[in-house]
Structure 1
Amino acid sequence: MIEFQNLEKVFNSGGKQIHALNDINLKVGKGEIYGVVGFSGAGKSTLIRCVNYLERPTSGKVVVDNHDLTVLSEKEIRKVKKNIGMVFQHFNLLNSKTVYTNVAMPLILEKIPKEQIKKRVHELLEFVGLEDKAEVYPDQLSGGQKQRIGIARALAMNPSILLCDEATSALDPQTTSSILQLLKKINVEYDITILMITHEMSVIREICDKVAVMENGQVIEENTVFNLFSAPKTKTAQNFVSSVMHDQIPSSILEMIENSDGSNNVFRINFLGEATGEPLLSHIAKKFDINVNMLFGNITELQGTPFGNLIVEFQGLDSEVKRALDYMKSKQISFKEVKSHAS
């Protein structure tokens, strides 16, 4: 559906070259909700603007619906762009126009007959839950309502792709959740592929299928949401996951580990789905000659599936600890040793 092949984007500023995108290779499959996360300046917004050609790549390819945009004429690009909707961080509504006209604007520009416009606009306003706001102006709406109108406008031309550039960053947490559920509904009911740009890992956790982590114009990690949350490989991804999982070990516990006699072993154990409810640690304490000391633990949800994260200390002989670890492997329980110098 969307594919970036060796994508590069270089800006010239003050006689210097700024590499906003460096050798990006990503594929977004049909029907997916794909998230791209990164800190400010990582290149996320430049990447999404290359999809609808608001930014023209310096080199590489952008393939949308089997069309390589880099070789198309302006007329051909405009035709492809009609199949792409865009939702902005700050709504980009016309304050001098009613809600009805804001939603209708893409249809008006395409000179669609008025009766068809009327039918489509009312259908969309009903879908986003604002059918009673057709004749009001954007200034009379809350932030969440404005974004719903922005989403309705983005859907006006029946796109198969929806681009969301920090679509929830200007909203409070409760409103963010309602907008994300609306986007999920759009994905399921309209079978629309969604590419989301965000710096909020909670957004990724709630609705995305896959995620790419960007830093300094590069994709440094890519995975399914489940796999990235359970075993982030890069430091940046680990920091993003920790921001919503709150799984950092308190400094006092780290100091205790540092000052131990070396006979203790500390591990991070992850549980998924039904395994979160099983008494694993109780079984290990009874089955092997070790003491189990739980240092930290929480259970959250990844798109409705329970995800448990425990940090435990196994106290005992190395041979017994090894037997306990082999037992967890046999149960396909994911775990990783926590080093005493971890931060």
Structure 2
Amino acid sequence: MVEFLQVEKTFESGGKRVRALDGVTLTVQKGDIFGVIGYSGAGKSTLLRTVNLLERPTAGKVIVDGKDLTALSVRELRSVKKKIGMIFQQFNLLESKTVFDNVAMPLLLSQTPKKAVEERVRELLSFVGLSEKAKSYPDELSGGQKQRVGIARALATNPSILLSDEATSALDPQTTESILQLLRRVNQEYNVTILMITHEMNVIKEICNRVAVMEQGSVVEQGDVLDLFANPQTKTAQGFVRSVMKGDIPPSVYEALEARRGRSRIFQIHFVGERSGQQIISQVAKRFQTEVSVLSGSITELQGVPFGSLIVELGGNEAEIARAHQFIRLQNVSVKEIS
């Protein structure tokens, strides 16, 4: 488990103090794939680097498996860091070393016996699908293969926590998908807690179970990924969700609605389950004397579960619209009116 308790980090830049982290408090539970998302400059990379004290907090505590890293001696900290692996956006491989030697490096630095090193490296290369590349050099590999080497290297010392620093942002969509699937296997088969930072909502959607949204050094929203998609509270979170769901009403439709203002109301419905949204709209049309128009809609998957968004217009008598709205609210979906 990783806990951030009122973590602050300030830098000196051009004679000015820059606050990169401003009282961050959040908890990553054991077994989580926890995503931290935000735009450039939000502070997410700085936050990640406090977990292994590559950046020491100016104030606050970073607690890993019950130990406050800021209070440990150099020797104690070295021991804890062995249980924290890290993968990078630009891979950070040694170009003069083979794939085998790159993966073996953390084990050699910790003076692991030669036979144990060979067994562990062979196991990890098989796990990431690169057994045949053991004697190759990084410049002979594709970007996806380099990142697989990076993941294998990060797992070499059997960490309980894996930090992912924009690990897929330099990769094409197809390769990104394969790397995310590999990280899910790491989480499930090696029981490794993963803390990943990204600016891509598709990454969060694909594998994370919990998420924190950062803005100007602060966490402005956090919770289960499904809850965030269903009901984002901040403009930043709403923007990220829209980048995936594509559920906005086209301007031309809004113009047409203006002519009917006062005779209809517009609602956005978020639902879980492949057919639940359609079923609700169908029932509303049958039960109430309202005109139902679907203005926009999209569906995606969160952790293999269909998640959809519909924007609908309900027209007719105000009392009937109110009854229909109340009915929708009772269907275990998220619904809000759009002005």
Distance 1:261 1:13 in 2: 52
The residue aligned with 1:178 is: 178
Indicate the residue corresponding to 1:86 in structure 2: 86
Pair 1:63 & 2:59 matched: no
Alpha-carbon deviation of 1:257?
2.6
* Structure 2 unpaired stretches of 5+: none
**Matched residue SS, 1:169:** coil
1:53 matched to 2:53: yes
Tell me whether 206-215 or 273-282 shows the greater mean CA deviation: 273-282
Give the equivalent residue in structure 1 for 2:251.
251
* Cα RMSD for the two superposed structures: 1.0
Bigger drift between 196-205 and 66-75 goes to: 66-75
Q: Does 2:338 correspond to 1:333?
A: no
**Aligned mates of 1:92, 1:14 — CA distance in 2:** 29
Partner of 1:13: 13
Equivalent positions of 1:250-289 (< 5 A) are 250-273=250-273, 275-276=275-276, 278-289=278-289
Per-residue deviation, 1:176? 0.3
CA distance in structure 1 between the partners assigned to 2:261 and 2:133 by the alignment: 68
User: In the alignment, does 2:219 pair up with 1:223?
Assistant: no
* CA deviation profile, 1:241-272 (whole Å, cap 9, x unmatched): 00111112111122223343311100001110
Instruction: Determine if contact 2:277/2:308 at 8 Å carries over to the other structure.
Output: no
Q: Do structure 1's residue 187 and structure 2's residue 187 form an aligned pair?
A: yes
Report if the CA contact (8 A) 1:270-1:310 is conserved.
yes
Per the alignment, in what secondary structure is the counterpart of residue 327 of structure 2? helix
CA distance in 2, matches of 1:221, 1:154: 29
- Cα deviation per residue 1:28-57 (whole Å; 9 max; x = unaligned)? 000000000000000000000000000000
Q: Where do residues 289-300 of structure 1 align in structure 2 (5 Å cutoff)?
A: 289-300=289-300
Q: Does the 8 Å contact 2:274/2:307 carry over to 1?
A: no
Which amino acid is the alignment partner of residue 79 of structure 2? K
**Displacement, 1:283?**
1.5
* Structure-1 residue corresponding to 2:107: 107
**Alignment pair present for 1:118 and 2:122:** no
Counterpart amino acid of 2:192?
Answer: I
SS of match in other structure, 2:54: coil
In structure 1, the gaps of 5 or more residues are none
Q: Which amino acid aligns with 1:290?
A: T
Amino acid in structure 2 at the alignment position of 1:188: Q
1:72 corresponds to: 72
Q: Which letter maps to 1:327?
A: F
- Map of 1:134 onto structure 2: 134
Aligned match of 1:202: 202
Q: Which sits farther off after the overlay, 22-31 or 70-79?
A: 70-79
* C-alpha contact (below 8 Å) 2:277/2:310 kept by paired residues: no
Identity of aligned residues (%): 60
Amino acid in the other structure paired with 1:216: Q
Q: Which moved more, 1:240-249 or 1:52-61?
A: 240-249
Q: CA deviation at 1:277?
A: 6.4
What letter is aligned with 1:245? M
Q: CA deviation at 1:85?
A: 0.1
Count of equivalent residues: 339
Q: Which digits, 9 at most, give the CA deviation of each residue in 1:135-157, with x for residues without a partner?
A: 00000000000000000000000
Report the 3-state secondary structure (helix = DSSP H, G, I; strand = E; otherwise coil) of the residue aligned with 2:93: coil
Q: Match of 2:101, SS?
A: helix
Shift of 1:275: 4.8
Q: Which amino acid aligns with 2:74?
A: E
C-alpha distance in structure 1 between counterparts of 2:49 and 2:261, whole Å? 55
SS at match of 1:60: strand
- The superposition leaves residues 116-171 of structure 1 with CA deviations (integer Å, 9 ceiling, x where unpaired) of 10000000000000000000000000000000000000000000000000000000
Distance in 1 (alpha carbons) for counterparts of 2:333 and 2:155 = 43
1:3 aligns with 3
